Structure 1
Amino acid sequence: MVEDEFNALVEPLRRELVVHCYRMMGSIHDAEEQVQETYIRAWRAFHGFERRSSVRTWLYKIATNTCLTALQSRTRRPVPTGLGQPAADPRGPLEARLEIDWLEPLPDAMIWAEGSSDPAEVVITKDSVRLAYIAALQLLTAQQRAVIILREVLQWRAQEVADALDLSVASVNSSLQRARAHLAGIDAETLPPIDPSDERTATLIKDFADAFEQYDVTKIVSLLADDAIWEMPPFLGWYQGAENIGALISNHCPADGPGDQLITFTWANGAPVLALYMRSSDGSHRAFQLQQLTIGDGLVQHVECYFDTRLFAAFGLPDVYPAD
């Protein structure tokens, strides 16, 4: 049957298409939506697919153009540090901007659930989905974003990109040059991928989680780099400096003491994530925030703290911390 043939060809590519659409859209929810639309468009066009290119190339072309269409009616997904305002006062009020569509993390389980036998491939893949890179892509125009992903992540030739996007090669090269200029600063600051098996890193992650569970702000501060950055969409402000971050937690965290916060571990964008559950009035611990850690030189360099608790479901995490 034609439907069986179609499914056999396209389903093995679903995971990588989700990642591709995530790079374009900056949201796991938008990415899944666009992959579904990609499959609908591919099914409608399947009778005319002459296999002059591979199924993978054909689907990536459809997916890229599907995302470009969607981006015509969507705004960029920023992080607070990408909005251009200076660091905020950790003792000041918090201003939430719920109307902004913020950048979302991508669970590692949706990328590498089956692993890879090629270590070099894993490094490249992690590099192409690291949060700083995805955030920088959001500063590009949709066309620049598509071009640099196709050219530098997927390693397509300029003519292939031009054919896929209905552009001239000159337009492709111009978009690539501008995109590279925007991303140059990000690439220069890239930290090496985190190795989950590294004992020093594992200890740091555990100590950071323990410090929150004990509500030990002094310990938290000691595990942060002196110039660490903390940002927490949907709140507009971002904060820099270990001491300032400590003041932020002391002034605004609803925990009162040890046991108010419980943590479980997961990963996103190749980085560790602490899923934090806060004690509620009925004594249960409920989903509160996800803390995505950037680690370097044995310290936490950056924390992207997501307060959208709907993300817990994307990570396969419960709304309530399981009772013992």
Structure 2
Amino acid sequence: MPSDAQFATLTEPFRPELLAHCYRMLGSIHDAEDLVQETYLRAWRGFDRFEGRSSVRRWLYRIATLACLTALQTRARRPMPSGLGAPSLDHQVPPDPREPAVAWLQPAPDSLFGGDDPAALVGGRAGVRLAFVAALQHLSARQRAVLTLRDVLAFSTEEVAELLDTTAAAVDSALRRARLRLAAAGPVAEELAEPDERTRRSLLDRYTDAFTRADPAALVELLRADVAMEMPPTPTWYTGRPAVLGFLAGHVLRPGRWRFTPTGANGQPAFVVHRGAQPYGIQVLTLAGPLVGRITAFNDPALVAAFTR
């Protein structure tokens, strides 16, 4: 057995990117952390059999990917409300109060993928934007593995075949099917550039101010005409500025109700949200130029702990 120090020196640098990989596969940051722990335990136990025919990084990815595939045999995909049904265009129709028995996609804190370390961000945060991870949920587990290993992490076809104990032809076939299915699931590329840092800061400050003052008129200037809003675990979601603003004004915005603390999730601007003094959830924004294109409000107090460690 290697010493703890030897093993940590060789393997710990890869933890953030392995966590991102497991998150893409599972759609849950809590499940991803559990699988990364399992990966490191398996790697430590088997390190004396590691013969160096591949890199330590590739060896760890093999263990992590196979662990995720095993876990996904008994777990359903984690959708978003927009992946289950059509949007509501009428804010006067109240959200469906029934919360379906669904394990929803979860947001992931940027801090777990390397924080401000540029080297860690390259491997960790690539391919973790909400739209992309949500689209991955439409793929089979094996298609998810092949597409992320090839298109996000840039492993070669031959390397992926070795990681998954299959053939190069099978990898290429799975990759083609995965790309077609991903395209059918809807656009996931960020076709509109995010604003520069100064515009971004101003937009987020104005958004927070409008929310805390309960000022829908101020929000009008910050939202795209085709803005969307979804709020898992509520299955109802809205599209279009009139519907989104109507819902917020009628059901959400109240002076002094909300406290927003800036954070980062999925490589996007986000807020830890408290209702009064109580944790309420995580709100993630998708920016399109100088405006907000999507509001994703994960109204689950249990998520707050992962963003406030």
What TM-score, normalized by structure 2, do the two folds share?
A: 0.92
Structure 1 consecutive aligned stretches of length 4 or more whose deviation exceeds 6 Å: none
SS of 1:155 mapped into structure 2: coil
Task: Specify which of 265, 268, 279 is matched with residue 265 of structure 2.
Answer: 268
User: Aligned partners of 1:234, 1:190: CA distance in 2, in Å?
Assistant: 28
Aligned pairs for 1:1-324 (under 5 A) are: 2-4=2-4, 5-87=6-88, 89-95=90-96, 96-97=98-99, 99-116=101-118, 122=122, 126-184=125-183, 185-192=186-193, 198-253=197-252, 256-257=254-255, 259-279=256-276, 285-316=277-308
Tell me, yes or no, if the aligned pair for 1:273 and 1:292 is still in contact at 8 Å. yes
SS of 1:57 mapped into structure 2: helix
User: Aligned partners of 1:300, 1:114: CA distance in 2, in Å?
Assistant: 24
Deviation of 1:186 (Å): 2.4
Q: Mean Cα displacement is larger for which, 49-58 or 39-48? A: 39-48
Q: Mean Cα displacement is larger for which, 43-52 or 65-74? A: 43-52
User: Aligned partners of 2:207, 2:116: CA distance in 1, in Å?
Assistant: 28
Tell me, yes or no, if the aligned pair for 1:261 and 1:278 is still in contact at 8 Å. yes
Q: Once the two structures are aligned, what percentage of the paired residues are identical?
A: 45
Tell me, yes or no, if the aligned pair for 1:88 and 1:237 is still in contact at 8 Å. no
Deviation of 1:126 (Å): 4.5
> What amino acid does structure 1 have at the position aligned with 2:85?
G
> Larger relative contact order (C-alpha < 8 A, sep ≥ 6)?
2
Tell me, yes or no, if the aligned pair for 2:16 and 2:124 is still in contact at 8 Å. no
SS of 1:146 mapped into structure 2: helix
- Unmatched runs of 5 consecutive residues or more in structure 1: 280-284, 318-324
User: Aligned partners of 1:181, 1:194: CA distance in 2, in Å?
Assistant: 30
> What amino acid does structure 1 have at the position aligned with 2:8?
N
Q: CA RMSD in A?
A: 2.0
Q: 1:147 and 1:117, CA in 2 relative to 1: closer, same or farther beyond 3 A?
A: closer
Deviation of 1:289 (Å): 2.8
User: Aligned partners of 1:189, 1:256: CA distance in 2, in Å?
Assistant: 32
User: Aligned partners of 1:90, 1:104: CA distance in 2, in Å?
Assistant: 25
Tell me, yes or no, if the aligned pair for 2:281 and 2:302 is still in contact at 8 Å. no
Tell me, yes or no, if the aligned pair for 1:211 and 1:217 is still in contact at 8 Å. yes
Count of aligned pairs: 305
- Unmatched runs of 5 consecutive residues or more in structure 2: none
